[in-house]
Chains A and B, each alone.
Chain A
Amino acid sequence: GENVEQHPSTLSVQEGDSAVIKCTYSDSASNYFPWYKQELGKRPQLIIDIRSNVGEKKDQRIAVTLNKTAKHFSLHITETQPEDSAVYFCAASRMSGAQKLVFGQGTRLTINP
């Protein structure tokens, strides 16, 4: 089955700097890669996703890149703000079947003012 590895487990950056979180996956049939943000005690919320037919997607300060050959994808947050502090999860799934999400272990991002 699919296995998703996420790094780093914790990340601390100065406000205004960029943050990068990386994930690798094992199942070459996976073709949908969402990123979720989870604040303490709250529900995971989708912040951006990418499908395997594109290599990069951007939404304001957030971007995701995908390298299908290497089976890795990354989240980039620019001009970080204190409200970006949260745990971020990457995930992977196939378009067919149950489309269940396989999550990485999470990255706790702290933005220092």
Chain B
Amino acid sequence: GAGVSQSPRYKVAKRGQDVALRCDPISGHVSLFWYQQALGQGPEFLTYFQNEAQLDKSGLPSDRFFAERPEGSVSTLKIQRTQQEDSAVYLCASSLAGRNTEAFFGQGTRLTVV
């Protein structure tokens, strides 16, 4: 595809429900990042993959958050037992290997927990 694709674009979940957010990075991009963007704030780092290896998950706010990238391309961010404070836009970004190459962002998934 032409860019990073995320689905769904919008998700409304009842509190306590599990959700799964999908990211299709740009083909050939080794690095994949997940960020959480609360309303009116800058994106905050959640986790980072290099190919299929999750090298940094220091930003995941709790053990209810889990991310995977089993084949080194598509990634899924899963949130278990969603809570109202999980409401945010979840952004995925990908980049080529190498130092500080441009990170391309997807349009995000807006999650609303009611």
Contact = CB atoms under 8 A, between A and B. Distances in A.
Contacts of A36: 105
Interface stretch (A14-22, A74-82, A103-111): A103-111
A12 interface: no
B82 interface: no
Interface residues of A, number: 28
Interface residues of B, number: 24
B45 A101 contact: yes
Contacts of B33: 100-101
Contacts of B31: 99
Given A93-B100, A101-B43, A106-B42, A43 B55 contact: no
Given A98-B48, A99-B31, A99-B100, A42 B43 contact: no
15 contacts: A6-B42, A34-B102, A43-B107, A46-B103, A51-B100, A96-B99, A98-B56, A99-B100, A100-B56, A101-B45, A101-B103, A103-B42, A103-B43, A105-B42, A106-B41
